[in-house]
Structures are given as structure tokens and as C-alpha cells.
Structure 1
């Protein structure tokens, strides 16, 4: 397993090109699987089930179509992006179980910082209940090709919430967005990255 950490923002299209090439190399057993931790500059991404009606302000940020599952989401400063390329040919070929494990992975990361969160079977992502309201703290988008699972998730650290105003995030208008910074003092970057890595190994290599 390769762990790649980028300390400067990576353009979204550049990241997608890397992932697509990595999928082919992992499938051909030329290269190892990867976890890639990074950040993007502000961008709206349009998943395969997105509706154009959910793009409210078309020119606020660049809009990029992507082949991941899901609808519109936002990526930008203050958000931790975790991409992966995982070979399900060498693991269990169960997509639903894999998605559940990704959810458990994010929940475990948040638990490391004493944050209680949950997955919603009806609305993909990870949610926080605060003041009787449900708010999304992490978005998940996954594609499986040749039994290689890729794309990943975004985790809100201290993202500017108004940057979401140009879209209906994940097609859900009735729920809000929340950051780790709304719930506790922001952990340092190294601690977050270590939690991402350690909880991956616990869940996926057990």
C-alpha cells in the first residue's frame, strides 16, 4: 500500500487523471494500491447522478464533470480529501460492504477526536447531529472499475460554508454542512493524517 500526501493544492482534473492511470496499473499488478491525502482549490464536481437543477450559481467556481457516484459536491480549502485505489479482486468483491467500510473508516477518524458521527442509509455521507439538526461533515463518492474501487471522500476541517451556496450539496437541501472546527479545536495536520492511515489499516487489513 502506497501512502501519498500532497502538501500543496492539487488541481481536480490532474488528480482524476492520476487516479484513472493508477486504476489501470493496479489492475495490471504493475503498482500497489494507494491512499492519497490532499486538498483541492475551490471546485464543484458533478457526479453521474447529478441534476443540473442542483447547480444554483454556475459561475461561482469551476464545475467539473466526474465519473464518481453521487451528485454535486464542493471541494476546496479547509477540506481534507482522501482518494484511494483499492483492488477488490484481492479482497471481498462486495461493493456495498466496501462502501460501509469507508463509512466506518470516517466515523473512526472522527472518534479519534471525540466526535460522534453516523452514516445514514438514505443519504450517503457521514453526519453529525447538533441541536437536533443533521449536518454533513464528510462526503463520499466511489466508482468501481474492473473491481478496482477508487475516488474517495472529503472531510470538512474548517471549510468556508458559504462556498457551498452555488450548489445543492449531494442533492439534499434540507440538511446543513458542518466542520470539525465547529465541534472541537482543530487537530494538527499530522494527527489527522495519522488517524486516516491507522484507521484504514485497522478496517481494511484486519
Structure 2
């Protein structure tokens, strides 16, 4: 059982099984509107999806190489991304009105949070200049272990991240992941044998208070 951070203003939710992408998108949109209206708590939602490809606002149809899974258009930033079993997807519905109206700072802090969580599990992850996402070295080659795609409406964040814990990496072959054909993707399992989503969730929960503190800090 993952230790849930004690945060009265933020719901921390972990959904079991596979959550249909369209269902989660509808719920996320509804929750974000409620947060913006002051009618609901902020939300950190951890889940898995059935295999899907999602297209960000800058997706190029040429990079949809083999649409073997359903394809969803989405309002987040970025290009094509894969979601599927064994990948921890996290949706963050946070109110930047009270955490600093700075989208660049939010993305940067989100990267730091994921890097810190991966570091607890023995993965030396890092950000790469000009490449959004979370990177590491797999056999000496730079490889992407996590994707980030966010949207902000009325200063409330939507979407979030996807970290490859133990997905079927061959599923990424249907797209050019994030529009970067020269870089492979990897996973926690491929790097050091970690395949438990709960293990990664624990690392996320442990690092979350520092994420919130940094997000609210003066820039």
C-alpha cells in the first residue's frame, strides 16, 4: 500500500486496473473546471491506460507510423506519445493561482520531481536542453524514460507525465515518440529490473512535498 502524503487541499488518487483514456480525459476536464471555480480540491491522479497513442498540439501526422492502437487528439502540448499497461501516467490538476502563475517553472519543477523519484530507485535521470521529458543513459546511449505534456486553463494544470516502469517498449514503434527519432525509449525494468508501479508510486509520494515547496517558492 502506497503511503499517501497528508495534504488536506490535494486529493491523491491511485486507480487500479486500466482506465479508458477518453473516460479519464472527461473526468480530468470536469475536475479542472471545478478546481478553477473553487468547488473541488486539487488532484494528483495516478493510473494506467489500455494501449493508446495520444497527439499533442504540435503532433505531425507523418510521425504516426503504425496506428495499431486507438489514437486520441488531446489539448496538451507536445507531439505523439504512447500510453499503456506498465506505464505510470500521472495527471496533475493543480491551481497555479495559488502556486505561482509560471508555466515554465511548473514544468521545470515537475521534471525535478520525477528525476528525484527515479533517483530513489537507482536511476540517474536528467533533463536535456531543448528536449522536454525525462532522460537517462541506457548502455551509454541517451534514452527517454518519461514524457511530460501539460496544458493550463484558467491557471489550472491538466495532463502531466508518463514514466515507463515496465511497459512493452515495442508499442512505441507505432509512433515517433515525441518527434525524436534519433533517441530510443527505455524503462525502469530495462534499466534495473524495477517493474512494480507501487514501488514507483512510493518514490513519487516521498518526493511530492519537496515538489510542492519548490513550486510555491519565489522565482
Aligned mates of 1:101, 1:76 — CA distance in 2: 25
Aligned mates of 1:14, 1:201 — CA distance in 2: 29
- Written as runs of structure 1 = structure 2, the 5 A alignment for 1:1-206 is 1-58=10-67, 60-186=68-194, 188-205=196-213
Distance 1:189 1:57, change over 3 A: closer
TM-score by length of structure 1 reads 0.96
RMSD (Å) for aligned C-alpha atoms: 1.1
Distance 1:121 1:111, change over 3 A: same
Q: Unmatched 5+ residue regions in structure 1? A: none
Aligned mates of 1:191, 1:201 — CA distance in 2: 17
How far off its partner does 1:189 sit?
3.5
- CA offsets per residue over residues 3-29 of structure 1, 9 Å max, x none? 111011000011110110011110111
How far off its partner does 1:144 sit?
0.5
Aligned mates of 1:188, 1:161 — CA distance in 2: 16
Aligned mates of 1:23, 1:80 — CA distance in 2: 21
Q: Unmatched 5+ residue regions in structure 2? A: 1-9, 215-219
Aligned mates of 2:51, 2:15 — CA distance in 1: 16
How far off its partner does 1:49 sit?
0.4
Distance 1:188 1:160, change over 3 A: closer
Farther off after superposition, 109-118 or 125-134: 125-134
